[in-house]
Chains A and B, each alone.
Chain A
Amino acid sequence: MSVTELVGFDEALSRYEPVIGLETHVELGTITKMFCGCLIEFGAEPNTAVCPVCLGLPGSLPVANRAAIEYTIKIGLALNCTIATWCRFARKNYFYPDMPKNFQISQYDEPLCVDGYLDVVVEGQSFRIGIERVHLEEDTGKSLHVGGATGRIHGADYSLVDYNRAGIPLVEVVTKPIPGTGALAPVVARAYVTELRDLLRSLGVSDVRMEEGSLRCDVNTSLAPVGASEWGTRTETKNVNSLRSIERAVRFEISRQAAVLDAGSRVIQETRHFHEDNGATTPGRSKEEAQDYRYFPEPDLVPIAPPADWVEELRASLPEFPAARRARLQADWGFSDQEMTWLANAGAIDLVEQTIAAGASPADARKWWLGELAMHANKAGVELSELTITPAEVARVAELVKAGTLNDKLARQLLEAVLAGEGSPDDIVAARGLAIVSDEGALTQAVDAAIAANPDIAAKIRDGKLAAAGALVGEVMKATRGRADAGRARELILQRLT
C-alpha cells in the first residue's frame, strides 16, 4: 500500500478507536554478560568480547548473573509489579546465524515480574499504562548484511556476525493493551517510552540509549470502529528506535489500517518494519507463518527464587522516581506545568538542577539551557547533556550577567566560546576582554563620537523624535563591539541632545 492511499489521521480517528501496546527491550548495564564472565563493552572490535559460553560452544553451560536478576527485580518494583517467588528460564528455539545456540535463553510462562503499571501524563491528562510482564533474557549477536540495497538479509551478498552482543542481559517490558487514548495514542506511546527510559535511567540499570540500541521498541497498533465491542487485529512494528519514530509509527499505522478497513479489507496480523526516511511501515514476517518456538524450561539453569527479604531490601534501595522528583523540583523552582514539560522533553532537568545548585536562579538556569544551549545542541544534533559545558559554567555565566559584567549578547558569545573549548568563563572574559563598557569616560567618548558622526540623527532627536536615539545607541554598540551598557548609552545620548 502506497502512502497516497492513507486516510488522514484526524479522519481515521473520527471513525476508529486505536489500541496500542509496547514491548521494550532494555540492555542492562551490568559489568558482565548474562550467563558468562565476558565484559560488556560498547564498540569493542567484533568478536573479541566472547568466550565458550556466549559463543554457545559444545559443552559450555550458562551461569546466571546475579546483578542482572537484581536489576530486573528493581525494574519490576519500580513498575509496581509483583515479583515472582519462584520462576524459571526457558529456551526459545529457532534457527538464526546470529544466535550461537540456535535457542535463546529467555522466560516464557514464568516471568520474574508481572502485573504492574506506569503512569504517564500527556497534555494534562494522566494515563495508567498496565504492565503485563517484565522478563529477563539474553541478547543475540548482531548480523551485518553486506551488499544489497536495504541492509536487510534479502538481496545481500553475504553476512557477517558479531557475537560481542550475544549474551548481554536484556530485559523485556511488555505493556498490557492500552485502549482509550484516542487521538493521543501516538503521543501516549511516546510519553510511555520516555517515562520508562527516565525511570530506568534513575534506577541506574541501563544507559538507555535508543540510538545505540540499548533501548529498543516494538509498537503494536490495532484499530476498531468507534463503539465496537472487540478490538481489531494488531500489527507489530519492530525496532522503532527513537522517541519521535514511535510517535510517527503509531500515526502511520492508524492512517494505514484505517485505509485498509475503509476498503473493506482486513488488517493482517504481521510484523512490520518502520522506515525513518518517510515514516512509513512495510510488511515483514506474517504471524500466520510464525515460528513455533517450542519453549521449554531451561534444563541447564536452576529456578530463580528471590527471597522475600532480598526483594524488600531492593525495594528499600530504590531511588526517587522521575515523576515524584519532577513534582518536587517543580514546586521548589516555581515552574508552570508547561515549563516543566519542556524541561523534561529536552532532557534538561538534571542539568537545570545542577545549575541551580551551582548558584543560578531557576529562571536563569531554565532560560540558558532551553534557549541558547538547546539551539546549539539542536544544531549539533546532540543531547543537551553531551554539550561540552558544565552546569557550573552555565551558572557562572548567569552570575556574570546578574552582576552586570555581561549583557545577554556578550553572555551568548561567552557560551559559544566555552562550547568551542576556549576555557572557563572567567578565562574567556579575561582573554577576550568581554565586559560591558560602563566606564563613564569611555562610554561618553563613544557617545560623543556617535553624535558627531551622525548630525542628521542628532537633529531629529533634538526635534523631539526620541525614537531616533536607538540608531545612535546602535552606533555606540558597534563602536564598542557590543560591550557597551546599552541603557546607559541611551541615557547619555538623551542627556546631551534634549
Chain B
Amino acid sequence: MTAELTHLTAAEIAAAVASGETSAVEVTQAHLNRIVDIDPEVHAFLHVAGLDALAAAEEVDRKRAAGEPLGPLAGVPLALKDVLTTKDMPTTCGSKILQGWRPPYDATVTQRLRDAGVIILGKTNMDEFAMGSSTENSAYGPSHNPWDLSRVPGGSSGGSSAAVASYEAPLGIGTDTGGSIRQPAAVCGIVGMKPTYGGSSRYGLVAFASSLDTPGPLTRTVLDAALLHEAISGHDWRDSTSVNAPVPPVVAAARQADVSGLRIGVVAEFSGEGYQSGVMARFNETVELLESLGAKVVEVSCPHFTYALPVYYLVSPSECSSNLARFDAMRYGLRLGDDGTASADEVMSITREAGFGPEVKRRIMLGTYALSSGYYDAYYGKAQQVRTLICRDFDAAFEQVDVLISPTTPTTAFPIGERVDDPMAMYLADLCTIPSDLAGNAALSVPAGLAPEDGLPVGLQIMAPALADDRCYRVGAAVEAALEQRWGGPLLAQAKGLSR
C-alpha cells in the first residue's frame, strides 16, 4: 500500500482520506519513507519536518473522526519552496546568508495550506533567492532531475519540481518570477502554474523581484494544480498588490477540459534558432492535437516579446538590489567579521561578501547600476517603458485569441554544470516564460511528450490574460487528457532516472 500511496494524485489521496480508506498519517508516513529512500539521490529537500508533518496529519485524521468538515486537499502532503516563511521550520532561500533563520511568522500561502489541512513535509531546494534556472545556484548543492540524475530539474523551484516528479510529494509550491515554476515543471515532465500576479499572496514570500514574484502550484496533474491553486489564492490584505477579486473558476475549468470553439494563438516569435528540434516537434504535434480537439489555432505576432529577456534583466535585478539590501548581518541570519573591532559597515561587507553566491552578487551589481543616478532613465526607466509595450502586445493578441501557446522552454533539461559558467545560456531557459511575468498574466506548463533525441520531457506553455487563469486549466486539462490517452498513461510513468 505504501508505495502505491505515493503514486496517487492529490485528488485521489484527499478522497481516500475523506472516505477513511486510508489515513492522513499513513499517507504522510509513506511520503516521508519515500523521501528517506530517494532524496539522497534527488536532493529535493533542504529541510524535512517529519514530526510536524505527522502531527498535522494526526490533526486531519482527528477532524475526520470527529466529523468536522475537511477541505478538498486535507491530508495531502506538500513540498514547500524554501522561499516562503514557516514559523516551525528554517527558511534559507537557498542562501548561506539565511542559514538557520527561523521566521517568527508564516507566509499567507503557508497559513492557507495549513488551514486547508495540507501536510507540509518540508522545505525544498532552490536557486539562491530564486535567481536561476537549474538549482545550481543553491548554496546547498543542486537538486537532480528524476528523469536523468545527471541533469538539472530546472529552477528556481527545482527542488519542488523534483520532489513532485520523484513521488516524494504529490503537491509542490514554487514561485515564478521569470519562469521559475513553469520551466522546472516542463523539464521534469509535470504541471506548473504561474497564477495571475497578485492572485496568490506574496506576504511571507522572501522577495526577489516584488513586481514579478508569484507563488503557484507544481503537481503531476492539471486537476491537482487547480485544487492547489484554489487553496492558496484569494485576496490578502497583508499584500497591497494582492488582487481583490474572486478566484477564477480554475477547478471547474480543469474538470471541463474542453477546447472546442476556443481561439488559440501560436506566438510566432517563440521558435527558430535556439529551439531544440525535439521541443519544436512535440510543440507542433500539440498544435495539431488542439486543432483536432476543435480549437481554432492561428499564428499571432508579439513583436516586443523579443525584448522581454533584456527588460527582465533590468527590472528584476533593480528590484532585487533593493530587496536584498536588508541582509546586512544586523538583525538575523549570518554574521561574520564581528570581532569587536570591526565597524557595522565592515561587518555588513564581510557578511554579504561571504553570504551571497556569485549569481546573486551579479544581479545586485546589475540592479544597483541600472538604478544609479544618471543611468536610471536609460536602463530601469527604459525597461519599464518596454515592459508596457510587452503588455500591449498581450492585449492586442488577446483581442484575437483566448489563449497563447508556446514551448515552455527552448530545450529539455541540460546536464548539471553545463551552463554554470555561461549566465547568458542559463538566462535563455526563461525566454518564453518571462513575458507573462512582465505582464502579470496567468500561464501554465503541461507535459507535451518527450524529445526524441534525448528522451526528456518537453513542456507546452498556455498563456491567458490576467484573472483568466481558468482558461489555462481548460486547455491544459484537454491536452493532458488527449495526450495521456495517446501515451497510455501519465508521461511520468516513462521516467527512467530513478531506480524505484
Q: Which residues of A contact B (CB under 8 A)?
A: 52, 55-64, 91, 93, 95, 97, 100-103, 159, 161, 292, 294-296, 299-302
Contact = CB atoms under 8 A, between A and B. Distances in A.
A295 B372 CA distance: 8
A153 to B, nearest CB: 8
Contact of A102 (B205, B328, B376): B328
B322 interface: yes
B68 interface: no
A61 B204 CA distance: 8
Nearest to B106: A59
B368 A294 contact: yes
B372 A292 contact: yes
27 contacts: A52-B103, A52-B104, A56-B326, A58-B98, A58-B101, A58-B103, A58-B206, A59-B91, A59-B105, A59-B203, A60-B203, A61-B202, A61-B239, A62-B240, A63-B238, A95-B328, A95-B345, A100-B326, A101-B325, A102-B326, A292-B372, A294-B373, A294-B376, A296-B318, A296-B371, A299-B211, A300-B240
Interface string B459-489: 0000000000000000000000000000000
Select the residue from A161, A299, A302 with max chain B CB neighbours within 10 A: A299
A60 B331 CA distance: 14
Chief secondary structure at chain B's binding surface: loop
Contacts of B373: 292, 294
A199 B329 CA distance: 42
Contact of B93 (A58, A64, A97, A302): A58
A60 to B, nearest CB: 7
Interface residues of B, number: 44
A59 B211 contact: no
Interface in B353-377: 368, 371-373, 376
Nearest to A301: B240
A144 B30 CA distance: 54
B332 A57 contact: yes
Interface string B222-248: 000000000000000111110000000
Contact of A300 (B103, B206, B241, B321): B241
Nearest to B367: A294
A107 to B, nearest CB: 16
Nearest to B212: A299
A150 B330 CA distance: 23
B84 A299 contact: no
Nearest to A293: B373
A70 B168 CA distance: 52
A100 B240 contact: no
A93 B209 CA distance: 15
Nearest to A57: B103
Contact of B325 (A59, A62, A63, A102): A102
Contacts, number: 98
Interface in B323-349: 325-328, 330-332, 344-345, 348
Contacts of A91: 322
Given A57-B104, A58-B103, A59-B205, A93 B238 contact: no
A280 to B, nearest CB: 28
Contacts of A64: 240
B436 interface: no
Nearest to B318: A296
A147 to B, nearest CB: 12
B331 A93 contact: no
Contacts of A159: 344
A65 to B, nearest CB: 12
A159 B338 CA distance: 13
B238 A61 contact: yes
Contacts of B328: 95, 97, 102
B288 to A, nearest CB: 41
Select the residue from A57, A60, A61, A95 with max chain B CB neighbours within 10 A: A61
B371 A294 contact: yes
B319 interface: yes
B345 A63 contact: no
B13 interface: no
Closest 4 CB pairs between A and B? Answer: A102-B325, A299-B210, A294-B371, A299-B211
Given A58-B101, A59-B203, A300-B240, 18 more contacts: A52-B105, A57-B332, A58-B85, A58-B93, A58-B326, A58-B327, A58-B332, A59-B207, A62-B240, A95-B328, A101-B326, A103-B322, A296-B319, A296-B371, A299-B209, A299-B319, A300-B210, A301-B241
Contacts of B321: 93, 294
B45 interface: no
A290 B330 CA distance: 23
B211 A296 contact: no
Contacts of B25: none
B414 interface: no
A103 B328 CA distance: 12
A56 to B, nearest CB: 5
A56 B210 CA distance: 14
A481 B326 CA distance: 72
A58 B101 CA distance: 10
B186 interface: no
B87 to A, nearest CB: 10
B107 interface: yes
A294 B372 contact: yes
A60 B108 CA distance: 10
B240 A63 contact: yes
B348 A95 contact: yes
